[in-house]
Amino acid sequence: MATGRHPLHPFVGIDIMPGAPRGFASWGACVFGRSKQAVGGLLLYISCCDPVHIGVYKYQIWVKMVCGRDFAEIPPWRDGFEFAPTGKGGESVKRIFWVVLCAWMLVFAGMAECADVMRYMSEQDAMPNLRRDDLLEVHWINVASADCILLRIGERTMLIDSGRLKEYERITKYFQEIGVAHLDYVFETHPHDDHIGGFVGVLDEIPVGTYLKPRHYESYSSSLKTRLNRVIQRNQIPTEFVETGQQMYLGQARLTFYQWASSSVQQNNRSVVLKVEYGSRTVLLAADLEATGQRKLAELYGSALRADILKVPHHGINDYAQEFHDAVQPAFATISNTRKSADKFVTGLTRRNVPWVFTTKGTIIAVTEGDQWHVWQIPNPDASPGEGTLAYIRR
């Protein structure tokens, strides 16, 4: 299925309305039209009695038009007005309304089946208020061909990897721009230089709650690792190991760590993969798994790895294993590399119709309230919108 090209992105939700009379169900439906400049659409929230008794019980309809507003300004579900016609003709008005709404719901319930979880935003689309407590933000910070990913929910933050040593100023500058002044957690997927280098500078500049690191690298040593350990000690940052299958929460987001847990496994293949779940949306940060590691994790954890967004493993250098694709089934992929070096994985993604974007073409920001991802890219000053950019997908 082509992504990002549908004229409509509808979805239908069901939930039980607090305080509704016993046996009543409330239904929520939301339809977003999309235009270049704005999100136009209709939010509809209806709670009603069962159709047999329509006209006997009072029912309520909330209708809210949302036109020309940006994502951040869409009002909450339950804003609106009560619609309860009475008097002469009131009953037939209610019946007609009910029939029309049922038809409308059925049409869009069908369309929701193929609704997309991804919305690719243009530079003109206003970014939501990134400090909202109810949004999960994932920032793939451009640190050249290396990994550096920030998770944030409200005031809660976690930095996953940090690029090479020289990149730390890019990271701290970006933190200043988006208002990150502390990190609750720092997480090292594995101790290679292109993943831990930036921490050496970042940890001296920003207060950090806990440093999380993987097991099975205890015997790994490098001059950079030694230097980083000194920085961790100097700043008295508590360190903790993460275990495969271990879970924790960052705000309301559930984090699960996965690892091919053996010290004899090749170094990249024992790097720790992190799955983040928020509402019904998911992202998998696949560290530096090579093809063998991808297959092993698929064998060990299967559909638990399923995710909307995949941070492509090992900078897209290796093949994209079919077993791993079957487990994850991503709708979108980010690659921390250049086209030339990531050719194998890019070919695999393209063949499977998974849209992909390079972090080297500009920092990528994915934001979700739990239902749908909204993805922006901040293009590099010298970048032109082409292959490997979000603009290319949106075309």
Judged by the rule CB under 5 A, the positions of this chain that interact with Zn ion are: 194, 288
- Minimum CB distance to Zn ion smaller for 116 or for 288: 288
- Minimum CB distance to Zn ion smaller for 194 or for 290: 194
Q: Kindly tell me the burial class for residue 22, based on how many C-beta atoms sit within 10 Å of its own C-beta (0-12, 13-18, 19 or more).
A: exposed
Query: In whole angstroms, how close is the CB of 312 to Zn ion at the nearest point?
Result: 11
Q: Pairing relation of β-strands 373-379 and 60-69?
A: unpaired
- Minimum CB distance to Zn ion smaller for 125 or for 194: 194
Query: In whole angstroms, how close is the CB of 255 to Zn ion at the nearest point?
Result: 20
CA distance 56 to 71: 38
- Minimum CB distance to Zn ion smaller for 337 or for 363: 337
- Minimum CB distance to Zn ion smaller for 137 or for 194: 194
Mind giving me the DSSP string for 61-80? EEEEEEEEE-GGGPPPTT-S
CA distance 306 to 275: 9
Q: Which secondary-structure segment (H or E) carries 105?
A: helix 90-112
**Rg value, the chain, Cα:** 24
Contact 393, 376 (CB under 8 A): no
- Minimum CB distance to Zn ion smaller for 116 or for 188: 188
Mind giving me the DSSP string for 212-250? EEESS-TT---HHHHHHHHHHHHTT--EEEE-TT-EEEE
Query: In whole angstroms, how close is the CB of 286 to Zn ion at the nearest point?
Result: 11
Query: In whole angstroms, how close is the CB of 334 to Zn ion at the nearest point?
Result: 14
Q: Kindly tell me the burial class for residue 335, based on how many C-beta atoms sit within 10 Å of its own C-beta (0-12, 13-18, 19 or more).
A: buried
Query: In whole angstroms, how close is the CB of 140 to Zn ion at the nearest point?
Result: 14
Query: In whole angstroms, how close is the CB of 146 to Zn ion at the nearest point?
Result: 6
Contact 26, 46 (CB under 8 A): yes
Contact 124, 34 (CB under 8 A): no
- Work out the number of other CB atoms within 10 angstroms of the CB of residue 371: 14
Query: In whole angstroms, how close is the CB of 387 to Zn ion at the nearest point?
Result: 22
- Minimum CB distance to Zn ion smaller for 167 or for 194: 194
Return the structure tokens found at 64: 């809210």
Q: Which secondary-structure segment (H or E) carries 21?
A: none
Contact 355, 102 (CB under 8 A): no
Query: In whole angstroms, how close is the CB of 315 to Zn ion at the nearest point?
Result: 6
CA angle 141, 197, 293 (to 5 degrees): 80
Query: In whole angstroms, how close is the CB of 356 to Zn ion at the nearest point?
Result: 17
- Minimum CB distance to Zn ion smaller for 281 or for 296: 296
- Minimum CB distance to Zn ion smaller for 46 or for 364: 364
